[in-house]
């Protein structure tokens, strides 16, 4: 039954890709804005990050393992190096998810999303350092402007320092995972499944470490909603859209997802009853402007 569900989901996704539903920039941007933008307020309201983390990866792995078996043919020609790099990217991505979840314990959805979405600049900077693209004054100027936006959000909104540090860590981990993923010659469906499976041991280890202190897995209604949202939407559907973007280029991927922080602020109003302050919006505007400047040629 699980294999049939996974095969059906994969076939439906491939059908949408073939019809162009998820291949246009607009379609990909809307998918990412919906799933990733709503992640922040949903996790913020649910709390209990360790339970949602393990629930997310258990559910995603239940979908991914049969899917990986179903699409095993594309993996037969994949070298060991690509498999190892794909798994490493999955481990880094799990670190990103965990850092993001815990950051939301300390600060509100919008600031976390704004800080994390400096990752396109980190992609550009890291890529320049390792030689994937040429550094430019635009990248440096845009980075300085964007990170000044982070400073404004932090200082003016009086945020908890640990939440800011965790958000920056999440941004760095996601940037590294994205760079590695963009250089791997693996089918996007297989790569998404592989990374979900690679993240499961880390989620289990985190849960075991957490429960050593006597806590138990709490699955109230909002936690169940969050797990389903994360395991199916944010972990599976959104990553298929994200890897499709990465296949085009890092530039497209680092440009089209600017809508996510803004959507997070909007969705947080009805979901988490969070209303953005002027300083937060000003900081977000600087971040977006900085990314725009960095991307200009």
Classify residue 220 by its DSSP letter.
-
What's the average model confidence in pLDDT over 235-252? 71
Contact 194, 90 (CB under 8 A): yes
User: In the structure, what pLDDT confidence band is assigned to residue 6 with cuts at 50, 70 and 90?
Assistant: very low
User: In the structure, what pLDDT confidence band is assigned to residue 111 with cuts at 50, 70 and 90?
Assistant: very high
List pLDDT tens digits, range 141-165: 888 899 899 988 888 677 899 999 9
CB atoms within 10 A of CB 37: 25
Give the predicted TM-score (pTM) of the model.
Answer: 0.84
Determine the 3-state secondary structure of 159 from DSSP. coil
End-to-end CA distance of the chain: 50
Res 248: pLDDT: 62
List pLDDT tens digits, range 210-228: 765 545 566 789 999 999 9
3 or 97, greater pLDDT: 97
Place of tokens 């400073």: 151
Residues for the chain: how many in total?
Answer: 297
């Amino acid at each position: 039954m699980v294999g049939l569900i996974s095969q059906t989901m994969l076939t439906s996704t491939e059908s949408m890709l073939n019809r162009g539903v998820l291949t246009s920039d607009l379609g990909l941007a809307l998918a990412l804005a919906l799933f990733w933008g709503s992640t922040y307020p949903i996790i913020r309201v649910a709390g209990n990050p360790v339970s949602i983390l393990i629930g997310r990866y258990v559910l995603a792995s239940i979908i991914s393992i049969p899917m990986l078996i179903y699409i095993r043919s594309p993996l037969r020609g994949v070298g060991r190096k690509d498999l190892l790099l794909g798994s490493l990217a999955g481990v880094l991505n799990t670190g990103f998810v965990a850092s993001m979840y815990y950051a939301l314990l300390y600060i509100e959805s919008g600031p976390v999303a704004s800080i994390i979405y400096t990752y396109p600049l980190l992609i550009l900077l890291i890529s320049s350092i390792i030689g994937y693209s040429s550094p430019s004054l635009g990248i440096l100027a845009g980075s300085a402007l964007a990170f000044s936006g982070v400073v404004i959000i932090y200082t003016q909104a009086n945020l908890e320092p640990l939440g800011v540090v965790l958000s920056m860590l999440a941004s760095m981990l996601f940037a590294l995972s994205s760079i590695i993923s963009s250089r791997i010659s693996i089918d996007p469906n297989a790569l998404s499944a592989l990374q979900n499976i690679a993240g499961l041991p880390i989620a289990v280890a985190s849960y075991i470490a957490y429960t050593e202190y006597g806590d138990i897995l709490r699955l109230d209604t909002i936690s169940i909603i969050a797990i389903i949202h994360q395991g199916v939407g944010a972990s599976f559907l959104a990553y298929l859209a994200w890897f499709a973007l990465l296949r085009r280029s890092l530039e497209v991927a680092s440009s089209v997802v600017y809508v996510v922080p803004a959507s997070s602020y909007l969705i947080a109003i009805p979901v988490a009853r969070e209303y953005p302050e002027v300083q937060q919006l000003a900081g977000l505007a600087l971040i977006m402007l900085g990314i725009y400047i960095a991307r200009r040629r």
